[in-house]
Chains A and B, each alone.
Chain A
Amino acid sequence: MKVRITPQGREIEVTGVRTVHGLLAHLGVLEGTVLVIRGEALLTTDSQLADDQTIEIRSVVSGG
């Protein structure tokens, strides 16, 4: 699947991951620090993923 990471603007290809939980573990991202977006919907950690999908991982962290 195509994974777009924002706000960094990176795009990577990930295969063989079946759930959001698995995707976050694969990317080393903590649950709760990002939104996982598919189209117009947010996904929970148990949501199923497929290789032909495009997913956005959007950081929720702000401030400095």
Chain B
Amino acid sequence: MKCTRCRDSAELKLRAHNAAFCRTCFFEFFERRVLRAIERGRMIEAGERVLVAVSGGKDSLALWDVLARHGYATVGFHLALGIGEYSARSREACQRFASERGLQLEVTDLRAQDIAVPDLAWAARRPACAACGTAKRHFFDQAALDHGCAVLATGHNLDDEAARLLGNLMHWQTDHLARQRPVLPPPHPRFVRKVKPLFLTSELETASWAFMRGYDYVVEECPNAVGATQLTYKAALDKIEAASPGSKLFFVRDFVERGAAFFEKSAADRSAGVCTSCGQPSFGEICGFCSLRAQLERRRAARGETRRADG
């Protein structure tokens, strides 16, 4: 197979784009698409510092790399979730990546604060992924403020967004659909803008980029993701994509450009106050994270024990 651009030998075929690429031309294609998404979405203004949430996986590391290579002022932020060996490997991958490239990385360790994700999930009797999401939102927002960043960038890719969109549609989550955007303006002065520069970049593309650029990223999945609904949606979308290449791209891009507007009225008209416990913006007296932490403390006290995550 030949590179569509230079006719050299191709390493990668992207059926969604009806194109094949050699390594050099793919690098150019990949970076241009990410930078164009940032530019068109006005995701990052000149001079703004960007907090990049990095997990140690291919997507967030690719995003951080592209931003740093193109002169954006970035701070990497890793939230160590306290999920056994998986979290240890994830943290190491981020630290190695930052160190090799001379990038600033900040780490917050939940286990060191006695609030590891397995403990939070146990306390709330909720799936680990729900507790994890609540903790991430809290600490990402806090870290962005702590490090003087105007923007929080996450590595959500096209496949993530397509699966989320399908899930929101399957359950007619109209308020979620109203907020499913690649750029979310801050609803409160203590929140920052949230952006997803990879929202039109597929997992195949980020994985290929990460491999070609020699990242030592965490390939394994979080052990809590086994059986997650999002993976079921992804598998269904993969079958559609195989039969009709480009479907995911049309699904997400056209939703953002044309579909999302239909759900704007569904956005809950709520103005955020301030959490009386942590001072972060909150739609209740205390925020979701502080409520979760309080549940953990209550349950520990009731049992007269201090449950801690393994690992």
Contacts and interface: CB of A to CB of B under 8 A. Distances in A.
Interface of A: 6-7, 30-33, 35, 37, 41-47, 58-64
A32 B238 contact: yes
A16 B13 CA distance: 24
Contacts of B208: 35, 42, 60
Q: Is the interface of A mostly helix, strand, loop or mixed?
A: loop
Contacts of B239: 30
B242 A61 contact: no
Contacts of B225: 63-64
Nearest to B16: A32
B241 A58 contact: no
B34 to A, nearest CB: 17
B275 interface: no
Nearest to B9: A44
Interface residues of B, number: 37
B107 interface: no
B129 A64 contact: yes
Contacts, number: 79
A63 B230 contact: yes
Contact of A45 (B13, B129, B230): B13
Interface string B180-219: 0000000000000000000000111011100110000001
B234 A42 contact: no
Given A35-B207, A35-B211, A42-B212, A64 B230 contact: yes
A35 B204 CA distance: 7
A61 B234 contact: yes
A37 B57 contact: no
A63 B160 contact: yes
B212 A61 contact: no
Nearest to A31: B242
Given A32-B242, A44-B10, A64 B211 contact: no
The 8 closest A-B pairs by CB, nearest first: A64-B225, A60-B207, A64-B228, A7-B220, A42-B11, A44-B1, A60-B203, A7-B219
